[in-house]
A and B are shown apart, each in its own frame.
Chain A
Amino acid sequence: MNEIVEILKNLDWSPFYISIKTGIAATIVSFFLGIFAAQKIMGATSRLKAVLDGILTLPLVLPPTVAGFFLLLIFSKRRPFGIFLFQTFGIKVVQTWLGCVVAATVIAFPLMYRNARAAFEQVDVNLIYAGRTLGMSEMAIFWKIVVPAAGPGIFSGTILTFARAMGEYGATSMLAGNIPGKTGTISQRIAMVIQDGNYLTAGVWVAIVLVIAFLLVFFMNVIASKKMKQQKKW
């Protein structure tokens, strides 16, 4: 017990902040991109839908290291796009915190997109038609009617996206590396201390992650059950 208190006292909290920051940034980007993609998909023809949906969902089913490999190919400073980013905007992605965000966003984005799309599918199309016959612009219909009606689904999608982005490991370690205080996330710290045989520190981090994860899911359920007036009970 004393050992754990000792570890907590001397703990380097930077992985915690980096993970949370990465999670928030990736969630914000995924939130808008995911909703945007889901909206576009809803308006597409069925064949185009199948193709685009496949591409957008790919990062969810691929091993994260494979996604990391592609990200490295794209953003490496020795490749055209990476060179372009660095020379034109001075943006470095590989081995930076931005790399953490990019990796987490790519991996977590499909969760947001799929949840948003599933939520949109549930929205009564008559609401959209009604909006149109009432003279509302497509923009207004989307943000004032569709998104609120799809609210619970989008909300749970956001939480899942955050959880996934915060815990991302494979693609992050390849793209951003594990630089303590800069790109060292909780997941990477756990892997690192385990490699050093430091099981107790790893255990402390695992406990922290468990608490965060549980709180997120609990929070999600509480809000969702508030929104749904009649809870279904089997």
Chain B
Amino acid sequence: MPIVCNIHKKLKNFELNVNLSSNSRRIGILGASGCGKSMTLRSIAGIKIPDDGEIIVDGKTLYHSKEKINQKPQKRNVGYLFQNYALFPNMTVEKNIGIGLRKKEKDKKQVVDAMIKKFQLTGLEKRLPGELSGGQQQRVALARIMAYEPDVILLDEPFSALDMFLKDQLQQEMLEMLADYQGTVILVSHSRDEIYRFSDELLILDQGKTICQGKTKEIFENPQWKTAARLTGCKNLIEAIRIDDHCLEIPGWGMTLKTRKKIPKEINCVGIRAHDFIPIWGQEKENCVRVIKGSMAELPFEKKFFLKSEKNPQEMICWFVQRNFWDIIEEKGLPDYLEIPEEKVLFLQSS
């Protein structure tokens, strides 16, 4: 199910330049709010028209500026799941599911009935969307899309307006419902957890620019770019100077870092995830940064320490500690140093 989407569009604050081409069935697009993610999906669906470029799904050209092809959204066979589900408020569940089907009444009913069964909506056929729970609404919205047998399903931040508990539940439900769907699914989100859970392949967008594309797990392991690292949730990003293949300097923290891994030539930044630090009390070791007290936030299952580098108190260091280690900190106080495990350092370049 190859999908190619190379589009360019001038927006109010920036230019959108997306270059996506993938054979994966589960694609994620990760980016901060207002980076052009939704616009990309809308362009694929044909709701918005890019300035130029091409959109090809399974060999079918949906949009091609040079060849002057621009298929109507009605003809594209693309399912779009809106954040608010966009269920038609005046129609029952049944009607909502059947509305787009161009079939004889009898066949239509058959499809609708099958969808109602599949998405566990039995008994709710005559209800209006306003009378359904959030989870039921999501199922109706998906059923409505699936009834139409789309080639691609686009999910536009479907979980971002939900509370934590419901979010987790609906994400799992969504994964299960999409499990036997053979087409391509593209999920757009600003949440790295959602993207990680859902996608095999990942595209990272920042201010309309495509930062990188690749296998989701590989990108999370080695983001390569500073913006990509930030979006995948890396909290400590700091300028670094490469000295040789196995040594670099971090001036902001007043330390040098020795690594066994070979340091790539073009790096100018390193990232350390907030969970990866090892606390050290007393004697300084190799690859350590001396820290002084900053502030702390306590969450139910972890504590977030915002420490400062002693050399350079403007540089904040985020260190997240799981509950199991709270006792040690309680006993020994804040560590004098944080050790950076060299195998976990992200070598990055700022784009």
Contacts and interface: CB of A to CB of B under 8 A. Distances in A.
A129 B100 CA distance: 12
Q: Summarize B's interface: helix, strand, loop or mixed.
A: loop
A83 to B, nearest CB: 45
B90 interface: yes
Given A132-B46, A133-B47, A134-B148, A126 B82 contact: yes
A232 interface: no
Contact of B82 (A129, A135, A144, A151): A129
Given A124-B86, A129-B80, A145-B88, A134 B99 contact: yes
A229 interface: yes
Contacts of B73: 129, 132-133
Interface centre among A127, A132, A133 (most CB of B within 10 A): A133
Interface string B4-16: 0000000000000
* Interface size class of chain A, counting residues whose CB lies under 8 Å from the partner chain: 10 to 19
A229 B129 CA distance: 14
Contacts of A56: none
Contacts of B144: 134
B102 interface: yes
A134 B84 contact: no
A136 B86 contact: no
Contacts of B46: 132-133
A133 B46 CA distance: 8
Contacts of B99: 131, 134, 136, 144
Interface string A196-234: 000000000000000000000000000000000100000
A129 B47 contact: yes
Interface string B61-92: 00000000000111111111010101011110
A66 interface: no
B130 interface: yes
24 contacts: A124-B86, A126-B84, A126-B86, A127-B88, A129-B86, A130-B88, A132-B47, A132-B72, A132-B74, A133-B47, A133-B80, A134-B145, A134-B148, A135-B100, A135-B148, A136-B74, A136-B100, A137-B74, A144-B91, A145-B88, A145-B90, A148-B90, A149-B89, A149-B90
Interface of A: 124, 126-127, 129-137, 144-145, 148-149, 151, 229
Given A126-B84, A127-B88, A136-B74, 11 more contacts: A129-B86, A133-B45, A133-B46, A133-B73, A134-B99, A134-B144, A135-B77, A135-B100, A136-B99, A144-B88, A149-B88
